[in-house]
Structure 1
Amino acid sequence: MAPRVVIIGAGFGGLGVAHALRESGIDDVTVLERADDVGGVWRDNTYPGAACDVPSPLYSWSWATNPDWSRRYSPQPEILDYIRRTAAERGLRDLVRTGVEVTGLRWDDGWEVRTAGGTTYLADVVVSAVGQLSEPVVPAIPGVETFAGPAFHSARWRHDVDLRGQRVAVIGTGASAVQLVPGIVDEVAAMTVFQRSAPYVVLRPDRLYSTLHHRLFHRFPRALAFERRATYELTELFNRALEGSSRLTRPLLAAIRGVWRMHLHRQVKDAGLRRRLVPDYPLGCKRLLFSNDWYPALARDHVDVVTDRVVAIEPGGVRTSDGHLHEADVLVWGTGFAATDFLGSIAVHGVAGADLHDVWSDGARAHLGLTVPGFPNLFCVYGPNTNLGGSSIIQMLEAQASWIAEVVGRIAAGEARRVAVRREAWEAYDREMQGRLGTGIWSHCDSWYRDGARITTNWPGQVAEYQRRLAEVDWSDLEDVGRPGPRKITGF
């Protein structure tokens, strides 16, 4: 009997897995999406200026390349339209049930998938594609609920709030803030940006694609493939530098630092402001950001950058550690996501009632970022240690989708029943990941990549290595817990 597959989440990851399963002949696939449409982070993040910081030719599924991107770095509405259009054209949208929030998973010789609406789905295989950037975080600052005006997270943008003539406080200077601050700076009467840690921001080599460009890609698909490959190779150079062991690491990071410094000096003339915008950690330790208008926005006369620690939110504004109340009419949280809280909003109980969140109490870990012992036929997409410091995450998602499709195909063929990683393989893989990450650039500072002492989000190597490791399932790492007593799975 064909396995029943439930996928949680209808973003790039979930839809990509659905496509891979359909291509491998698995038809009983249901995608559960808590929102009212597909799109994932590109549906949720609609703040002014939202755009991708990965070049467009590489930011698409390999099986649905797009010759019609309007520019090198595509804006949010265009990416969302691409996801919607592709899902409809490939028949994936028909698999999606929207408005269904999964609240729990329980193993009982198969998975019971429980939802907020009370419906329970039965599945042989469950794929979590909820991602690392789906749960916005608002810091637990005293008085946060007392602010008198509109207050909202960048991923829950209030388009009904008119910012014209308003005093706006933006807390956070990460990837979202770097885009939204320039996006609203011309509307507001005054803006205060609260910075805990300055980011490295370099020039974004953006450009509009011409009609001739589009005609070339339509007429000669190999030209699009060449641009995609060239972009991939360039981003892999950066990934190599972030590994820390490459001979390129020091010279490449030094070159990027030089470009950043020149960018800062060229766009910010005030020496005092420049000093506040210099990061206090090594380049690459946190996410490198790309913007042509972040520094000019901060240099505007009606914008103030505050580096004193935020200690309280009050009805009239934001109080900092120097005792000053920074008055504001609107408060925007640019404070990121619960990236290390994998599956945090879903209760997951595996074999013998094991609680996945207990297993992950000291940090999430999964073999290849995909599978955990004691939780058979449960696979994660964009799981622990699969995020990138550079390049396109879609390449990682496609590698995971192909691996999952191979495993589900084995189940469909009757060669396995309930598949999970062997504990020894899981532990060995985790030791490898933490050993490599412990000597890499991300170990040199505190960031959203960490969960306590562990780096739980990032992959320590290049995309190409991850793709090689997932190109074929290593069945010796897995066992079939659906038989009487766990047993290793041998190759065909």
Structure 2
Amino acid sequence: MGTRMNARVDHDLVIVGSGFSGIGMAIAAKNRRRDFVVLEKADEIGGTWRDNRYPGCECDVPSHLYSFSFELNPYWSKAYATADEIQDYLLYCVEKFDLRQHMRFGSVVERMTYDEGLAAWHLTVTTGNGETHQLVAGAVALGVGALHEPVIPEIPGIESFRGELLHTAAWDPGTTVVGKRVGVIGTGCSGVQVIPPLAEDAHSLTVFQRTPTWVLPKVDPAYPDWLIDQYEKRPWLMKAHRAKLRAAGEVRVGGFTKQPAALKAASKAALAHLRSSIKDPKLRAKLTPDYTMGCKRVTMSNTYYPALASDHVTVETSPIQDADVTSLATEDGTTHELDVLVFATGFDVTGSYRHLNITGLGGRTLDTDWAEDIQTYYGVTAPGYPNLFFLLGPNTVLGHTSVVLMIEAQIGLISRLLDERDERGATAVQVRPQVVPAHMQRLDERSASSVWQAGGCSSWYLDDEGRNRVLWPGGVGEYERKLARPELVDYEFTGSAS
């Protein structure tokens, strides 16, 4: 595909971020022979799987589904891959497709401003040595993700705490808790994963739980060598396994979006898992959720409950009141002396975009627009921001299957829109502002009856108004069809490349 030529544009496409989204977009750009560069703030690729290195970190989506459809991996060691394995897979993809020459590491995007006359984006980029330079891009694809801007809870006095403070998303690999008094705040996915290995080493462990989580037993068999050999020699077997995993995931989506009662069997399995693992009735009561399964992300673990049942582990449900030099105090008057405090408190899902300081048409800013209400079209384009695309943007995360499927659909749409822009001799493409409100209203209507909004809990899926602005309220197949055959009349192609 030809690149739009303009002496004042440095690159036809700038990709921000080098996780699954950025790497996938880079491969597509290379296949289309676009002039592109990937800006990565860290010193290596990987995104979520580079940053999240806490003990026990694994993916909760089956390995063979958590990979690019065009680059299947026969060598996964077990049903659910560890963070290390996923990072190795991404490193392999970068080398196979020779992407490293397009990567600019230690490059932090400080500001992005749209130039209407040039139909291009001016990016202010700070590099690792503190230097700042300008970059002009004909289009920008943001692969910054929703799961890397850590949320740190506001605890009065926490700045005076002299012990170690850690967030699961910024884990120091050299950290040891052997013989230490450890506290963990949070019992979501990262909490469920990190608590068992910490419990093994700590002198004592206090888990500060605000809301109990639904935990299913984890069926996580290792793949025997003979099966790995079969997948390597007969890729069609691996594709069939992947298709089976995908179909199983899609069956579950109805339980989340339309009929939460459909999750009753899974709820019974989770409660049976709790009963068989926790014999103490008081502890079991603390760990029993009072909201519908699926309202928060469902977790899987065979080691979480046994860890909480250990003699040296305490589950504290009284809210945290404040902190001092050596401890946390809870509202019931208890003081918890700690050497290490771990925040397993998740992420600010829109913070990734806020730090980019994006200014679009007419001086409007994405931060201000999204503070009022996030408005996008299929999570990929936003009105007033031409030639700007989001990968895994609002309302495109999934609770039932692999987000890599969504990423690939989005890469296909972005590639199609850029190709169409160039073929028409235009300089800019954006979604028509008139089509977005009706689209968002449909998402709101579909989300209203979902378990995320009607399940009786609060979660990171919902905004301050209680609206779902994170998850796609439907199946992957539907989303893929919408993006594979876009209604081009929904987009404006403006300007003249000549």
TMscore range, shorter length: over 0.9
Q: Give the equivalent residue in structure 2 for 1:465.
A: 478
Tell me which of 7, 17, 28 is aligned to 2:25.
Answer: 17
Change in 2 beyond 3 A, CA 1:314/1:482:
farther
Q: Give the equivalent residue in structure 1 for 2:56.
A: 49
Which one-letter code corresponds to 1:233 in the other structure?
A
Secondary structure at the counterpart of residue 455 of structure 1? coil
* 1:26 and 1:409 in contact (8 A); partners too: no
Where in structure 2 are the equivalents of 1:175-190 lying within 5 Å? Answer: 175-190=189-204
How far off is 1:341 after superposition? 3.4
Tell me which of 319, 325, 328 is aligned to 1:318.
Answer: 328
User: Distance between the aligned counterparts of 2:99 and 2:251, measured in 1?
Assistant: 34
Q: Give the equivalent residue in structure 1 for 2:238.
A: 224
Q: Give the equivalent residue in structure 1 for 2:144.
A: 130
How far off is 1:22 after superposition? 2.1
* 1:217 and 1:223 in contact (8 A); partners too: yes
* 1:376 and 1:420 in contact (8 A); partners too: yes
User: Distance between the aligned counterparts of 1:321 and 1:61, measured in 2?
Assistant: 48
Secondary structure at the counterpart of residue 256 of structure 2? helix
Secondary structure at the counterpart of residue 400 of structure 1? helix
User: Distance between the aligned counterparts of 1:334 and 1:17, measured in 2?
Assistant: 30
Tell me which of 156, 159, 170 is aligned to 2:170.
Answer: 156
Q: Give the equivalent residue in structure 2 for 1:143.
A: 157
How far off is 1:353 after superposition? 1.2
Q: Give the equivalent residue in structure 1 for 2:365.
A: 355
How far off is 1:140 after superposition? 1.3
User: Distance between the aligned counterparts of 1:239 and 1:87, measured in 2?
Assistant: 32
Q: More displaced, 219-228 or 409-418?
A: 409-418
Secondary structure at the counterpart of residue 185 of structure 1? helix
Q: Give the equivalent residue in structure 2 for 1:70.
A: 77
Q: Give the equivalent residue in structure 1 for 2:90.
A: 83
* 1:8 and 1:14 in contact (8 A); partners too: yes
Which one-letter code corresponds to 2:265 in the other structure?
A
User: Distance between the aligned counterparts of 2:82 and 2:461, measured in 1?
Assistant: 25
How far off is 1:483 after superposition? 6.0
How far off is 1:386 after superposition? 0.4
Secondary structure at the counterpart of residue 88 of structure 2? helix
Which one-letter code corresponds to 2:359 in the other structure?
H
Q: More displaced, 413-422 or 353-362?
A: 413-422
Q: Give the equivalent residue in structure 2 for 1:29.
A: 36
Report the count of equivalent residues: 479
Where in structure 2 are the equivalents of 1:469-480 lying within 5 Å? Answer: 469-480=482-493
Q: More displaced, 180-189 or 158-167?
A: 158-167
How far off is 1:215 after superposition? 1.0
Where in structure 2 are the equivalents of 1:324-363 lying within 5 Å? Answer: 324-341=334-351, 343-363=353-373
1:437 aligns with 2:447: yes
Give the TM-score, by structure 2 length.
Answer: 0.94
* 1:340 and 1:456 in contact (8 A); partners too: no
How far off is 1:93 after superposition? 2.4
1:456 aligns with 2:469: yes
Per-residue CA shift, 1:453-477, capped at 9, x if unaligned?
Answer: 1211110001111111101221111
Q: Which runs of 4+ in 1 moved over 4 A?
A: none
Tell me which of 365, 377, 385 is aligned to 2:395.
Answer: 385
How far off is 1:342 after superposition? 5.0
Which one-letter code corresponds to 2:460 in the other structure?
W
Q: More displaced, 442-451 or 222-231?
A: 442-451
User: Distance between the aligned counterparts of 2:101 and 2:154, measured in 1?
Assistant: 40
* 1:363 and 1:456 in contact (8 A); partners too: no
User: Distance between the aligned counterparts of 2:268 and 2:83, measured in 1?
Assistant: 30
* 1:7 and 1:29 in contact (8 A); partners too: yes
Structure 2 unpaired stretches of 5+: 5-11
User: Distance between the aligned counterparts of 2:496 and 2:30, measured in 1?
Assistant: 27
User: Distance between the aligned counterparts of 1:226 and 1:261, measured in 2?
Assistant: 32
* 2:143 and 2:392 in contact (8 A); partners too: yes
The sequence identity of aligned pairs, in percent, is: 38
Per-residue CA shift, 1:25-46, capped at 9, x if unaligned?
Answer: 2320111000010001000000
1:121 aligns with 2:135: yes
User: Distance between the aligned counterparts of 1:422 and 1:12, measured in 2?
Assistant: 28
How far off is 1:413 after superposition? 2.5
Secondary structure at the counterpart of residue 201 of structure 2? coil
Tell me which of 348, 353, 368 is aligned to 2:378.
Answer: 368
How far off is 1:122 after superposition? 0.6
Secondary structure at the counterpart of residue 397 of structure 2? coil
User: Distance between the aligned counterparts of 2:189 and 2:100, measured in 1?
Assistant: 30
Tell me which of 268, 283, 289 is aligned to 1:258.
Answer: 268
User: Distance between the aligned counterparts of 2:76 and 2:182, measured in 1?
Assistant: 33
Q: Give the equivalent residue in structure 2 for 1:214.
A: 228
Question: RMSD of the TM alignment (CA)?
Answer: 1.4
Give the TM-score, by structure 1 length.
Answer: 0.95
Q: Give the equivalent residue in structure 2 for 1:292.
A: 302
* 1:370 and 1:383 in contact (8 A); partners too: yes
User: Distance between the aligned counterparts of 2:91 and 2:379, measured in 1?
Assistant: 27
Tell me which of 177, 181, 186 is aligned to 1:172.
Answer: 186
Per-residue CA shift, 1:314-340, capped at 9, x if unaligned?
Answer: 211111111211110001000000014
1:204 aligns with 2:223: no
Q: Give the equivalent residue in structure 2 for 1:490.
A: none
Q: Give the equivalent residue in structure 2 for 1:270.
A: 280
User: Distance between the aligned counterparts of 2:359 and 2:96, measured in 1?
Assistant: 36
Which one-letter code corresponds to 2:25 in the other structure?
V
Q: Give the equivalent residue in structure 1 for 2:421.
A: 411
Per-residue CA shift, 1:76-120, capped at 9, x if unaligned?
Answer: 111100000111111222211111011111011310011134111
Which one-letter code corresponds to 1:196 in the other structure?
R
Q: Give the equivalent residue in structure 2 for 1:2.
A: 3
